[in-house]
């Protein structure tokens, strides 16, 4: 067996990571900025190009200077080429040359197949992309998630939706 698999005796340790989020039942409980961002994400959703999944996603962000950016998902007949709303949002922010750190990101979605009555869950790749920006700017990004109806979830950091994220520290 290789050295890599040649373990010495040890003791297993149970470890825990705590993630936390807030659940709100009403938009009234959010700050005015958060309501505005969700509204921008909702409007951006109408720009989604999703003829294959009929799953429309809208995303928005506010930076520290109060600038707002939006994104929507964009599909392709070659399915793996689909771009998520969060990816298009971050590409829009980054390619604009914006330097002001991202403070909050809002994501919402609607499906032609069912009523989304719980918050949308950003896919793993999008969590990783959001994590890159949080790590780069060195300050946490608040994540606001909402379905078509139902509760709203707010996380204080991307780390709360992506524990064990891969980062440049490993490179």
CB of 7 to ligand THU, least distance (A): 38
Q: Based on CB atoms, which residue is closest to ligand THU, 56 or 159? A: 56
H/E element, 41: helix 32-45
CA proximity to 110, closest of 160, 73, 141, 156: 73
Q: Is 158 in the site for ligand THU (CB under 6 A)?
A: no
Q: Is 42 in the site for ligand THU (CB under 6 A)?
A: no
Buried b (16+ CB within 10 A) or exposed e, 108-131: bbbbeeeebeebbebeeebbebbb
Q: Based on CB atoms, which residue is closest to ligand THU, 5 or 77? A: 77
Look at residue 140 and give its three-state secondary structure. Answer: coil
What residues from 69 to 128 belong to the interface with ligand THU (CB under 6 A)? 73, 75, 82, 84-86, 122-123, 126
Q: Based on CB atoms, which residue is closest to ligand THU, 18 or 113? A: 113
- Tokens found for residue 68: 């707002």
Q: Would you name the residues annotated as active-site residues? A: 86
Q: Is 50 in the site for ligand THU (CB under 6 A)?
A: yes
Strands (E), 55-151: 55-63, 68-72, 102-111, 142-146
Question: Interface residues with ligand THU (CB under 6 A)?
Answer: 50, 53, 55, 57, 73, 75, 82, 84-86, 122-123, 126
């Amino acid at each position: 067996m290789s050295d890599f698999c040649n373990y010495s005796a040890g003791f297993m340790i149970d470890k825990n990571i705590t993630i936390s989020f807030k659940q709100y039942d009403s938009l009234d409980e959010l700050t005015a900025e958060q309501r505005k961002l969700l509204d921008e994400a909702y409007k951006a959703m109408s720009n989604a190009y999703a003829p294959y999944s009929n799953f429309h996603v809208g995303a928005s962000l506010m930076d520290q200077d109060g600038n707002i950016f939006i994104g929507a998902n964009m599909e392709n007949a070659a399915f793996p080429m689909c771009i998520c709303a969060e990816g298009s949002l971050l590409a829009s922010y980054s390619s604009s040359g914006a330097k002001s750190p991202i403070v909050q990101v809002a994501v919402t979605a609607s499906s032609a197949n069912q009523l989304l009555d719980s918050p949308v869950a950003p896919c793993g790749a999008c969590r990783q992309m959001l994590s890159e920006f949080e790590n780069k700017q060195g300050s946490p990004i608040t994540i606001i998630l909402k379905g078509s109806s139902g509760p709203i979830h707010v996380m204080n950091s991307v780390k709360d939706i992506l524990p064990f994220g891969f980062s440049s520290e490993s490179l």
